[in-house]
Structure 1
Amino acid sequence: MRTWTCNNDLNQKKQIIRVFLFLFISFLGNSCKVLPSLDTNPIEFLSALRVLEKSNHSQDNNSQSNNSEGESSSDCTSNCSTDGSVSVQINYVNSPFSLTTGVSSLNESPVLSGNPTYFTVSPDLPFGLKLDSGSGSISGTISEVVTNADFTITGTADAKSAQTTIRISSVIPAACADVSITTGVGTLADPFQICNPLQLQSMSTHHISNPGSYYQLTQDIDLSSISNFTPISNITNQFTGVFDGQNHTVHNLTIDNNATSHQGLFGYVVGGATTEIRNLRLSNANVRGNAQSGSVIGLLNAYAKNIHSYGAVVDGFADGTGGLVGRFSGVGSIYDSSFSGTVVGGGSYTGGLVGDSFGGDEVVRCKGKGTITGNGAVGGIIGRAAGTLVLNSYWMGSVTGSTEVGGIMGKGQLTDGKTKFSYSVGSVTGTSSLGGLIGSITSSSEESYYNINVANQADNDTRGIPKTTTQLKCPVVPNDSCATTAIYTSWDTTIWNFGTALDYPKLKWENSL
């Protein structure tokens, strides 16, 4: 409690008056004020007293002031904002963070005040790390190399918010010393072990004499020492077997063969249900190829599970260019996978995940984000889907082409060439046959939506259902009519996380990356 001081020469009468006024003010509960001197300016003193009394009577009887301007708050004891409520503060005490890709796990909770309940981060955290939007905690194992990268985290409580910046740096672990593949025998129980760039490159010939074998990546690998990587397998020497990345990352893949088709880390993968590329991540891949090229696989006639390519640039000079896979053919599935980056197709059939797909294939529980540019049949997930189903997937980004351009797929053909329980948020630009979800289709989509505020398309037909940003974000459960219309009626809550009313739905596997 603050009081005012007196001059030493005040007479006893003035002292008594002061004590009386002091007790009166204390009774009113306004002990945070400093009054002017009665001796120097009695009028100012009395005016200040009237202001104090008026301020007190306007408060809630239970409130206590802790602010020099006289505002009230029910819980303000420190860190007060200008309206008298507790201010929002966020602090990650261990920042900056120095991490090793594929090795370092982070589980960091912020020190908070003001009870923020919703958190966002900009730009996106490095791949492998995630921000819990409800608590502000950061967790995961980093997969991406960053150097002194800053990330701004915003916490919001009611109408108040605060920001803080964290800094992250990461390095790739040192490679093992073995030059050739010497560990393992290629079986499920004892797979061939890959732990450095030379071993991974040697797979382009090693797999020929070991068809149907099992390979396993044992740590993150940096391919920046190889200026032009030779794809593992081609149309003549096709890859069969299983490659398990064990959630490790191949960094800095560079392929520059624009006159040769089937370019990617793996060139030509076949074998149906007995062949699989799984649990693999690529960071900052740069691939230039001819027809049927992608960052991970050129042509796939098999299965791919949990494969992710982020920060990639894929440049195809002919038909069939995809962020993950150039051409998906036969009977197989790509599921629980993602792409972020840039795809440029010099011919037709260009897609964020798959350029061209033909057959009874499925793309299931996948997502993409970035910029896709091509000619005919350009889509955020698939350029052309001939008999291919896109199920429980979403795209965020821009899609540009000439004709048959769509947010999820550019061209859907045959009975199963359609989307189910999927959505798109992004611009769609072209000259003809444009759709916020699908450019052209001979069948139909089912419970699939696109953001009409972003797509600049207004079709409402069998190709997709337009919804506003609010309508797509506000539901927290399926069949939620929070934005005046029911949406996501049959969407599976074991697959989708609807989050808060401020988020688009996300796939539940995203929480495990």
Structure 2
Amino acid sequence: MPILISTPQELNNVRNNLLGYYELVNDIDMSGFGNFTPIGNTTSKFKGIFNGKGFKIKNLTINVSNTYVGLFGYTENATIQNVGIENANVTSNNYNYVGILVGNITNSTISNSYTTGQVDGQYGIGGLVGWHSSGLIKNCFSHANVTGAGRVGGLVGNFVSADSYVNNCYSTGYVDSNLYVGGLIGSNNFPENITDSYWDINTSGQTISAGGTGLTTSEMKTQSSYVNWDFLNVWGINNDYPYLQVFGVPTLPPKIETITVNSYSNNFFGNVGKSIKSTKQTDSYIHAIQTYTDRHIATIKNIDTYILPIHSNVSQSHRTVRSSTETVTSFMNPISATVERQTKTFKQLLSFVEPLQGDINVLYPLDNRMYRAVVNVIENDSRVYTMDNMSTTNYIVNPSFSEVIE
């Protein structure tokens, strides 16, 4: 019967029986446990079976000053399977043979397991296993960052013998060392013993390895890159690195993307507050014309008025008044009209009275010197309204009524 493990203390008690068969029954959070001592060493090796059953050991902290460091320090003829270690921080204070899961394996098998976090040591430092004396590592991966002085690899620090094997594994963590360093394997005299295994050349910072095949991040997240992998029963992939099915489908962290957006605005129509309105010694015969315009520069000279059949719009109005009096002859028109340009300068006005009432542009008291007439003249109240690019000019009909006595 397996010994069931559900708490940090029960995990720590594994050292009391190094030949036992253990199973996790739930995830275990080690954040409140403190510094964990590795299980097994050179004199008391772990030789049992440890089955994680698809559960995880989280927030493991190991900080010791000795060799063979990991959750298991030293294993021999042991089996470790189906266990994940997440967010581990494992440090040996510049000692050797350090891995997050196992410091050293001899004639042992590790399968369907993974690690994440940080591992630091001197020589023989790996994200999963530090020193691979003999045995098999199969269907495993590590996302851990690895730092050491020499023989440092993303998955395994050092291969020791021809009886050491790695099959169908990968690593992605950053690897930092100055001597015998590799993205997957730090050092190894038997690279042919590493089959169908890969490391990420972008995230690891390493383009070399003592075994395995380097791929780009994009290739690492593509199923076809993994030769002879069982994606039906063992592995899964979901637009990310492969995962082990025994742990279920992982929840992907939110991706941060940068999107460049160029903003364009349509043309604005605005009012221009500039007007030129000079008035010099000008006699006014009508009320001031009220205007609303964007820009108007007006010069008024002698202009004939033509009758249009419809009201027309103009784009600019010109309305500068100069000090002069012009002669304007006003003719009664039979119908109202709108003109495009208007004048407001008067000179020797002469009014001819027709039998019909009509509209005129400019009114001036009728000169009746040629007639004996009584002339009633109504002041012309004019109003001009102008809009940008759509100016409409209106004026008031001058209803003049004249009685002529012969």
TM category, shorter: 0.5 to 0.7
Aligned to 2:153: 406
Rate the CA distance shift 1:400–1:496 in 2: closer, same or farther, 3 A: same
Write the mapping of 1:62-461 to structure 2, written as runs, cut at 5 A: 188=1, 242-245=2-5, 249-251=6-8, 264-271=12-19, 275-280=20-25, 281-284=27-30, 285-289=33-37, 292=40, 299-306=45-52, 308-322=56-70, 324-329=71-76, 331-340=77-86, 341-346=88-93, 347-358=95-106, 360-444=107-191, 445-459=194-208
Aligned residues of 1:292 and 1:355 also touching (Cα < 8 A): no
Instruction: State the partner residue of 2:340.
Output: none
The C-alpha deviation readout for 1:236-264, integer Å capped at 9, x for no partner, is xxxxxx4123xxx315x59xxxxxxxx94
Structure 1: state its 5+ residue gaps.
1-187, 189-241, 255-262, 481-486
Greater mean deviation of Cα atoms: 370-379 or 331-340: 331-340
Q: Which residue of 1 aligns with 2:383?
A: none
Q: Go from structure 1 to structure 2 and tell me whether the alpha carbon gap of 1:497 and 1:456 turns closer, same or farther (over 3 Å shift).
A: same
> Deviations for 1:174-223, whole angstroms, at most 9, x for unmatched residues?
xxxxxxxxxxxxxx5xxxxxxxxxxxxxxxxxxxxxxxxxxxxxxxxxxx
Which SS does the other structure have where 1:318 is aligned? Answer: coil
Runs of 4+ in 1 over 6 A off after TM superposition: none
- CA distance 1:407–1:317, change in 2 (3 Å): same
What is the CA–CA distance in structure 1 between the aligned matches of 2:153 and 2:67, rounded to whole Å? 17
Equivalent position of 2:323 in the other structure:
none
| Alpha-carbon distance change, 250 to 508 in structure 1, aligned in 2, over 3 angstroms | same
Q: Which has the higher strand share?
A: 1
Give the partner amino acid of 1:339.
I
Q: Supply the distance in 2 between the matched residues of 1:401 and 1:268 (Cα, whole angstroms).
A: 31
TM-score by length of 2: 0.55
Matched, 1:507 2:251: no
Q: Does 1:489 align with 2:227?
A: yes
Return the structure number with greater relative CO, CA threshold 8 A, min gap 6: 2
C-alpha deviation, 1:287, in angstroms: 2.6
Deviation at 1:493, TM superposition (A): 2.1
- C-alpha separation between the residues in 2 aligned to 1:441 and 1:368? 21
- Aligned equivalents of 1:276, 1:396: Cα separation in 2: 27
How far is the alpha carbon of 1:286 from its aligned partner?
2.5
Q: Give the Å deviation of 1:268.
A: 4.8
Structure with the larger helix share: 1
Partner letter of residue 404 of structure 1? R
- The alignment partner of 1:266 has SS state of helix
Q: CA deviation at 1:332?
A: 2.2
> 1:419: Cα distance to partner?
1.3
Aligned partner of 1:104 in structure 2 is: none
The question of whether the paired residues in 1 share the 8 Å contact of 2:14 and 2:39 is answered with no
1:19-73 deviation digits (Å, cap 9, x = unpaired): xxxxxxxxxxxxxxxxxxxxxxxxxxxxxxxxxxxxxxxxxxxxxxxxxxxxxxx
Q: Which is higher, the Rg of structure 1 or of structure 2?
A: 2
CA distance in 1, matches of 2:7, 2:111: 23
Report how far residue 289 of structure 1 moved: 3.9
SS of the aligned residue for 2:240 comes to: coil
2:291 corresponds in structure 1 to: none
> What are the Cα deviations for residues 308-366 of structure 1, in whole angstroms up to 9, with x where unaligned?
311111112100110x211112x1210001112111113111001111112x1111010
Question: What RMSD over aligned residues (CA atoms) do the two structures have, in Å?
Answer: 2.4
Assess if the C-alpha contact under 8 Å between 1:436 and 1:451 holds in 2: yes
Q: Please state how far the C-alpha of 1:431 moved relative to its aligned partner.
A: 1.6
Give the alignment's TM-score, normalised by structure 1: 0.44
